[in-house]
Amino acid sequence: MPSAIVTGATGILGREIVFALSKDSKQWQTVHALSRSQKEDYPANVKHAHIDLTSNAQELAKQIQGVEAEYLFFAAYLQKETDQENWDANGDMLKNFLEALEITGADKKLKRVILTTGAKQYGVQLGPVKVPMEETDPWLDGPGRPPNFYYRQQNILKDAAQGKKWDWVVTYPNDVIGVAKGNFMNLTTSIALYAAITKELGRPLGFPGSEAFYTKFDSFTYSKLHAQFQVWAALEPRAGNEAFNVVNGDSESWQNMWPKLAERFRCRVPEDQFSGPAPDSSVMKLAERPPIAELAPRMGLANRVHQGAVEQRIDLVKWSQNDEVKNAWARLAERDGLQKDSFEKATWSFLGFVLGRNYDLTISMSKARKLGFTGYVDTWDAFSETFDDLEKLKIIPATK
């Protein structure tokens, strides 16, 4: 029976990988969950170890003495202020960890490394992209493009595998739906808090993002589906040395989900929500040359691409700093016994970006489907199940 190593074991994606592996103790004898801290109890076949991935290779080797496995799931991520800092920090973490495995000799047991990255692979943060996004789309690493640490990590992985007995798999999830204990840095927590506070204020639930994006399409990734894919990819021989999109399998729009969100939180959507002034709005222009520009001439769209923007009818960072909003949360948290730091730790800028983009983000799952992966999750079901989990953790108020 094989064993596994999971880095970033307490993160929104790493946590679910640990639990997906641990459910089948007959298949996975030992799961080494590596993170700075242990935030919850694990099944018997999971062994947690404290680790600082920002250490150099020699120091890491000391921290992981005795840790070895056939499969490494590298899901660690460190958010920095700039693209260059992300390039340096996240690239170094992967490089140093792989070198540490060589120092301890654990690399000799490895069969496959599964690296988690994301849809920034396609430049979704820079503006309009070609849709659907496919794994064969060109990397955006030419002149004038910002550093993308996913590219550095993938090159590090490919180089490290040269001459070794192990191969690799890379996954590209997008707009992840999920929860991690003690970690409020995710889309679902912020959107639930926005709805709950709006309800507490006695106001209708107006969409705070882009009017254009409200009727466009997005592809989401449920953290549990991503874990299911990673376990499948680890053991599927044909997946070796390949990168895969991992999304739920449907394409959703907020015109469909926003009324469902309002119903969940016992609010109503204004009948004509995009009419009238928006005094708390903001607009942030994105890259002058959007990602789709790289492919536009080949597609017959030369000079037909437009700069993208993040358009918020309600600037969520400013909204979160409003005293009326803060007081509403304080009342709600006190009355319902909620974790009071949920609000201040929520990622309002990230939610504003996700809801404010004014372009489609559909992602193809064809490559994985052709190899036999059939996993699928309805995106609204993923949101609903995650809201249930957040209620149990007393991060958001109960609505049922």
**Residue 395: what pLDDT?**
94
Q: What is the DSSP string of 360-395?
A: -B-B--HHHHHTT------HHHHHHHHHHHHHHTTS
**Residue 276: what pLDDT?**
87
**Residue 37: what pLDDT?**
84
Return the half-sphere exposure (C-beta side, CA atoms, 13 A cut-off) of residue 345.
15
**Residue 39: what pLDDT?**
77
This prediction has a pTM of: 0.97
Q: What's the rounded Cα separation, in Å, for the pair 73 and 19?
A: 13
**Residue 38: what pLDDT?**
81
The distance of Cα 338 from the centroid of its chain, to the nearest Å, equals 25
**Residue 184: what pLDDT?**
58
First-residue to last-residue Cα distance in the chain: 43
Of 236, 252, 253, 254, the C-alpha closest to 244 is 236
Q: What's the rounded Cα separation, in Å, for the pair 353 and 317?
A: 11
**Residue 25: what pLDDT?**
87
* pLDDT tens, per residue, the chain with 400 residues: 899 999 999 999 999 999 999 998 889 999 999 998 887 889 999 999 999 999 999 999 999 999 999 999 999 999 999 999 999 999 999 999 999 999 999 999 999 999 999 999 999 999 999 999 999 999 999 899 999 999 999 999 999 999 999 999 999 999 999 998 766 568 999 999 999 999 999 999 999 999 999 999 999 999 999 999 999 999 999 999 999 999 999 999 999 999 999 999 999 999 999 998 999 999 999 999 999 999 999 999 999 999 999 999 999 999 999 999 999 999 999 999 999 999 999 999 999 999 999 999 999 999 999 999 999 999 999 999 999 999 999 999 999 7
**Residue 321: what pLDDT?**
97
**Residue 290: what pLDDT?**
98
**Residue 183: what pLDDT?**
67
Q: What's the rounded Cα separation, in Å, for the pair 298 and 296?
A: 6
- The sheet carrying 4-7 orders its strands as 46-50, 31-35, 4-7, 71-74, 112-116, 167-172, 242-245
- Which spans in the chain are helix H? 14-22, 57-63, 83-104, 149-161, 187-200, 211-214, 223-235, 254-264, 316-320, 323-336, 342-345, 348-356, 366-370, 379-392
